[in-house]
Amino acid sequence: MTGFFARRLLSAIPLLLGISLLAFLLMYLSPGDSLSEARASRDISQEFIQQLEQERGLDKPWYVQYTRWLKKTATGDFGYSWTYKTPVSQLLGQRVVATLCLSVCALTLAWVLAIPLGVLSAIKKDKLFDRLAALFAYSAISIPSFFLALLGVFFAAKTGWLPTGGRTALDHDFLPPAAQAWDYLKHLALPVLILAIGSVAGMMRVMRANFLDDMQAQYAITARAKGLSYGRVMFVHVLRNAINPLITSLGFALSGLLSGSVLVENVLNYPGLGQLIYDAIVRKDQDVVLAAVMMGCVMLLIGNMLADLLLAMSDPRIRLEKSSASLRWDKKRFLSLGKIAAALLLVCGAGLGVYHATPGVQKIALYALGAVVVGAGALCVGVLLWMIFKLFARLWRPLLKKPLGFASLGVLLILYLLALFADQVAPYPAQLPNLEKFYHPPTALVWQEGKLCVQQYALTDAVTASYEKMPGQTIPLKWFSDGKLFSLDTQDTQARVYLLGADGTGRDLFSRLLYGARISLSIGLVGISITFLMGFLVGGLAGYFGGLTDFFAMRGVEFIMAIPSLYLLLGLRSALAPHFDSGQMFLLIILILSFIGWAGTARVIRGMALSLRQRPYVLAAQACGASTARILVKHFLPNLASYLLVAATLSIPGYILGEAALSFLGLGIQEPSASWGLMLKDAQQLKIFMLGFWWMFLPGLAIFLTVISFNLLGDALRDIIDPKMKL
């Protein structure tokens, strides 16, 4: 047992070193440092800043700074937070406890809910309970966590039952111990519930699938043949087996919670690790970022180790001592290793060269990179569309028989059409404000004199932004004029039709939703194309060649998967963003999301390629002298196509949610452009909660609708292609 822990911890050291180096480089590459603010203010003298620079070692090159940091950390000194003016260890101490509290409570609650729900819906398969549970699961998977958190805060603000944020009440320190504990619990309730709902759905579906499989197992019949009662067979024999895969997923669940908690902590103003990392990245508080990312990774590693330990306890077939196959080293291996290292160095060197080059060269390099990205993206989308077309030619008939799948396909088609024709359907441009009509409620439509007319409103109280109908004052709509589907038939340029209300500067929410749809709906498609092409190339080649290629590809994949994805997203975003203007931000977001997303796909495809490689028809093709490229395209791709289609449909939501999350944190699409996540950010104001401007939450609903449609469509496609597919 101790040997197992020692080995695991030792093997984690290179991973931690790599992650710290990556975090450090990202921090270094992003412009500005912790002194940027001080430099900008005039009353701090130049000498003082230089003195600070020397103190913090900012005048040294990056490798000197990094080794200095490493040396300090190795001695247990995590450094000093320049924004909070406290030692990092002290800061982390409080935050880690808060986040652990949150994650562990949420995970426990998720398990407590997911296991009985999954078991019951397996036992009552296809009955009403199962259907309702599935409905809940689909909804819970499809709702963005920050939107749920917003709704939670809205609910808490309206009812006053729970605090709307923070970790303690203002008068916490003056309360007796029992009341203090109660205060903690009350503040934990909302974030725990929101995080748990997010993960309960996935676990429940896994539990249900496992339980259904194990119910059919031969040992269940043996147990019944012994004379055991149905309950004992199900809850002792089957449950003990069905729970094991769930235990395996514990590590990933913890990682997901750590990532997801950034958003929930942000909305609920909960002082946890995620919030700290986010703030520190934004403020360039170097020591805090490094220490907190390390902390997050260590927590993740411990979670994985705990999962392995629990699994070994629960499943006697698993042995902890099992070590992975070791690699034999010979001359050939060293040569190819050298090649890989040289290629990596070349890429890094080119990157650094561009970074230090003149602006002109930088611009050329950026445009070249952009051209490559756009070209690759276009190629990927082309390949994907071609595959989708080929598959749908085969699949549309069975899809007609699945009402839910067909309906979600219909919803998606309508959404895509609306986004495509946003210029025509939207009555106003996305950026057109009307400062007299801030937070205008949705306008009522009335039927008058054979025409559809729009009710007019008057502002009655500017403080609470309340509007009243002006009786008898309506403006008729005119259809199909000036290239618009509909517009107001009036000369008054200040009159507006707000189908879904207006935001704080009087912009039409309906129009903004349509323009925002362009971003949300395309980001998934483009992102998934890049991800899958990369995943297919890396995973396919790794599985096909095996050996050293496989070894390095998989270590790379594990490296990317080991970093909590939202931290990586934040880091990459802040390192790269200043080099791009807001128009290129869209491309950048796709690039970052794909960079994080391809790893999981590559791993799955590698597994499939490994098994495909053994198939006789692949051997036959090799025997005929077919080239690697030909085997990959002609033999692997068609066999993986249906899997890829289902996986793609089911992973598009990840991109939509990722963009929404970034924009929601203010790091994605920037004002005045419209994006659903960005629009939800506007809704994060106490004023909106208090005054009940419900229409500000509609972007969340739009995300929810899109994501649930993709999920339902993906499941329907999977049922058609292969009901036993594990996804």
Partner 1 sequence: MNVNEPSTALLEVRDLRIGFRSRMGGPLNEVVHGVSFSIGKGQVLAVVGESGSGKSVSALSLTKLLPSPPACEVSGTVRYGGRELLGMNERALREIRGRHIAYIFQEPSTSLNPVFTIGWQIKEAVNLHFPKKENVRAHVEKALADVGIRDAARVYDAYPHELSGGMQQRAMIAMALACEPAILVADEPTTALDVTIQKQILDLLKTIRREREMAVLLITHNFGIVADFADEVAVMFRGDIVERGKTADVLKNPQHPYTRALIACIPMLGDTRQRLTTIDHAQLEALS
Q: Toward partner 1, which CB reaches closer, 319 or 331?
A: 319
Q: Does 245 bind partner 1 (CB under 8 A)?
A: no
Q: How far is the CB of 320 from partner 1 (least distance, A)?
A: 15
Q: Does 320 bind partner 1 (CB under 8 A)?
A: no
**Pairing between strand 445-448 and 86-87?**
unpaired
Q: How far is the CB of 217 from partner 1 (least distance, A)?
A: 7
Q: Toward partner 1, which CB reaches closer, 183 or 719?
A: 719
Q: Toward partner 1, which CB reaches closer, 22 or 318?
A: 318
Q: 197, 174 in Cβ contact below 8 A?
A: no
> Of residues 39, 124, 172, 224, which one binds partner 1 by CB under 8 A?
224
Q: 50, 597 in Cβ contact below 8 A?
A: no
Six-digit token pair at 402?
């699945």
* Residues 159-218 close enough to bind partner 1 by CB under 8 A: 217-218
The stretch among 7-15, 86-94, 237-245, 255-263 that binds partner 1 (CB under 8 A) is 237-245
Tell me the three state secondary structure of residue 321.
Answer: coil
Q: How far is the CB of 236 from partner 1 (least distance, A)?
A: 8
Q: Does 50 bind partner 1 (CB under 8 A)?
A: no
Q: Binding pattern to partner 1, positions 639-668, x when CB under 8 A?
A: ------------------------------
Q: Compute, in degrees rounded to 10, the torsion defined by CA atoms 268, 272, 273, 278.
A: 40
Q: Does 315 bind partner 1 (CB under 8 A)?
A: yes
Q: How far is the CB of 8 from partner 1 (least distance, A)?
A: 24
Q: How far is the CB of 549 from partner 1 (least distance, A)?
A: 34
Q: What are phi and psi of 724, to 5 degrees?
A: -90, 0
SS3 sequence, 149-215? HHHHHHHHHHHCCCCCCCCCCCCHHHCCHHHHHHHHHHHHHHHHHHHHHHHHHHHHHHHHHHHHHHH
**Distance from C-alpha of 196 to C-alpha of 117, rounded to nearest angstrom:** 14
Q: How far is the CB of 220 from partner 1 (least distance, A)?
A: 8
Q: How far is the CB of 241 from partner 1 (least distance, A)?
A: 6
Q: Binding pattern to partner 1, positions 64-83, x when CB under 8 A?
A: --------------------
Number of chain positions touching partner 1 (CB under 8 A)? 22
DSSP one-letter string for 202-261: HHHHHHHHHHHHHHTSHHHHHHHHTT--HHHIIIIIIHHHHTHHHHHTHHHHHHHHHHHH
Q: Does 403 bind partner 1 (CB under 8 A)?
A: no
Q: Toward partner 1, which CB reaches closer, 218 or 493?
A: 218
Q: How far is the CB of 250 from partner 1 (least distance, A)?
A: 17
Q: Does 723 bind partner 1 (CB under 8 A)?
A: no
The stretch among 234-242, 418-426, 566-574, 715-723 that binds partner 1 (CB under 8 A) is 234-242
Q: Toward partner 1, which CB reaches closer, 71 or 226?
A: 226
Report how far Cα 31 is from the mean position of its chain's Cα atoms: 25
* Residue position matching structure tokens 């994805």: 565
CA distances from 299 to 87, 246, 255, 265, 679 (A): 20, 19, 9, 17, 33
* Residues 113-152 close enough to bind partner 1 by CB under 8 A: 126
Q: Toward partner 1, which CB reaches closer, 153 or 215?
A: 215
Q: Does 314 bind partner 1 (CB under 8 A)?
A: yes
Q: Does 221 bind partner 1 (CB under 8 A)?
A: yes
Q: Is the peptide bond before 653 cis (omega within 30 degrees of 0)?
A: no
Tell me the three state secondary structure of residue 368.
Answer: helix
Q: How far is the CB of 237 from partner 1 (least distance, A)?
A: 5
Q: Does 225 bind partner 1 (CB under 8 A)?
A: yes
**Distance from C-alpha of 174 to C-alpha of 162, rounded to nearest angstrom:** 19
Q: Toward partner 1, which CB reaches closer, 162 or 318?
A: 318
Quick one: angle between helices 250-268 and 177-215, nearest 10? Answer: 140
Q: Binding pattern to partner 1, positions 331-370, x when CB under 8 A?
A: ----------------------------------------
> Of residues 205, 237, 284, 518, which one binds partner 1 by CB under 8 A?
237
Q: 405, 713 in Cβ contact below 8 A?
A: yes
> Of residues 5, 182, 219, 479, which one binds partner 1 by CB under 8 A?
219
Q: Does 615 bind partner 1 (CB under 8 A)?
A: no
The stretch among 50-58, 308-316, 493-501, 665-673 that binds partner 1 (CB under 8 A) is 308-316
Q: Does 549 bind partner 1 (CB under 8 A)?
A: no
Q: How far is the CB of 153 from partner 1 (least distance, A)?
A: 44
Range list of β-strands (E), 507-638: none
* Residues 18-37 close enough to bind partner 1 by CB under 8 A: none
**Distance from C-alpha of 20 to C-alpha of 667, rounded to nearest angstrom:** 22
Q: Does 421 bind partner 1 (CB under 8 A)?
A: no
**Distance from C-alpha of 112 to C-alpha of 118, rounded to nearest angstrom:** 11
Q: Does 230 bind partner 1 (CB under 8 A)?
A: yes
Q: How far is the CB of 459 from partner 1 (least distance, A)?
A: 59
Q: Does 317 bind partner 1 (CB under 8 A)?
A: yes
Six-digit token pair at 566?
């939202």
Q: Does 40 bind partner 1 (CB under 8 A)?
A: no
**Sheet with 466-481, edge to edge strand ranges:** 445-448, 451-461, 466-481, 484-488
Q: Toward partner 1, which CB reaches closer, 177 or 316?
A: 316
Cα angle 581, 587, 593; round to 5: 125
Six-digit token pair at 258?
């750590």
Q: Does 231 bind partner 1 (CB under 8 A)?
A: no
Going by the DSSP 8-state scheme, the letter that residue 44 receives in this structure is S
Q: Does 726 bind partner 1 (CB under 8 A)?
A: no
The stretch among 240-248, 255-263, 279-287, 403-411 that binds partner 1 (CB under 8 A) is 240-248
Going by the DSSP 8-state scheme, the letter that residue 363 receives in this structure is H
Going by the DSSP 8-state scheme, the letter that residue 124 receives in this structure is T
Closest by alpha carbon to 574, among 592, 548, 597? 592
Q: Sort residue 547 into left (φ over 0), alpha (ψ -120 to 50) or beta.
A: left
Q: How far is the CB of 249 from partner 1 (least distance, A)?
A: 18
Q: Which residues are near partner 1 by CB under 8 A?
A: 126, 217-219, 221-230, 237, 240-241, 244, 314-317
